[in-house]
Amino acid sequence: MFSLKNNPSPTSVESEVINDTTPNGNEATEKCPLCGRLNNPGAVDTCEHFFGMQCEGDIIWSDKYVSFEESYSAFVDFRDQLENLSPSRVTRLINQIVREEFITGDLIKASSWLENSPTKIIEEIMDFKYGLVVETDGMLSSVGRSLYHHNPGLVGSIIDSYELLTRKLKEYSEQKNNGKP
Ligand SMILES: [Zn+2]
């Protein structure tokens, strides 16, 4: 089974050419590392395992990632407003909410990395498989690779968890502000 998981360096450009078409009749540009379907992400012709394209530190072609980024950014924005609390107090508070609300343990880890980007967080939480590394030439040359996951819908529960976390943080800070002049 082909996977770049153990060799994720973007410099290892694969030159394997897939001379075949997808089930929908588009020119195949890669194979899903999970089910082997021939895919063409650029033509929005992929199996259900396709999550998005990782490109120059960003994730593109992914509604799921956009939704995740919104919920994660809302969480980070609110967390950073709690400036009257020390970072360690904020981390303890987050851990407490995670425990009380039975939020998945991976989020405890991810949420304590105060400086991480949303692309890093989603990569740490989801165990992605990678498609071929693709390099485009010319002035706007870039290196990208597809992200695949056995259950891309998992991102829905991650989004729910960050929304819950933000809501609980808000409740906490409102309680704290009650009674203050
Ligand atoms: Zn697949």
Domain count, the chain: 1
Within a domain: 66:
yes
- Bridge partners (DSSP) listed for residue 135: 143
> CA-based angle 105:110:115, to the nearest 5?
160
Neighbours of 10 (CB within 10 A): 17
Q: Ligand 1 mean position to 151 CA, how many Å?
A: 10
Within a domain: 60:
yes
R_g (Cα) of the chain, nearest Å: 20
Within a domain: 2:
no
Q: Ligand 1 mean position to 66 CA, how many Å?
A: 21
User: Burial letters for 62-98: b for 16+ Cβ neighbours within 10 Å, e otherwise?
Assistant: bebbeebbebbeebbeebeebeebeeeebbebbeebb
Q: Ligand 1 mean position to 49 CA, how many Å?
A: 4
Within a domain: 168:
yes
pLDDT category of residue 120 using cuts at 50, 70 and 90: confident
Residues in the chain: 181
Within a domain: 4:
no
pTM: 0.78
Within a domain: 164:
yes
Within a domain: 97:
yes
Domain of residue 36: give its range. 30-176
Listed residue (73, 74, 78, 69) closest to 170, CA to CA: 78
pLDDT tens-digit map of 20-55: 999 999 999 999 999 999 999 989 999 999 999 998
Within a domain: 50:
yes
pLDDT tens-digit map of 7-18: 444 444 444 567
Q: Ligand 1 mean position to 141 CA, how many Å?
A: 27
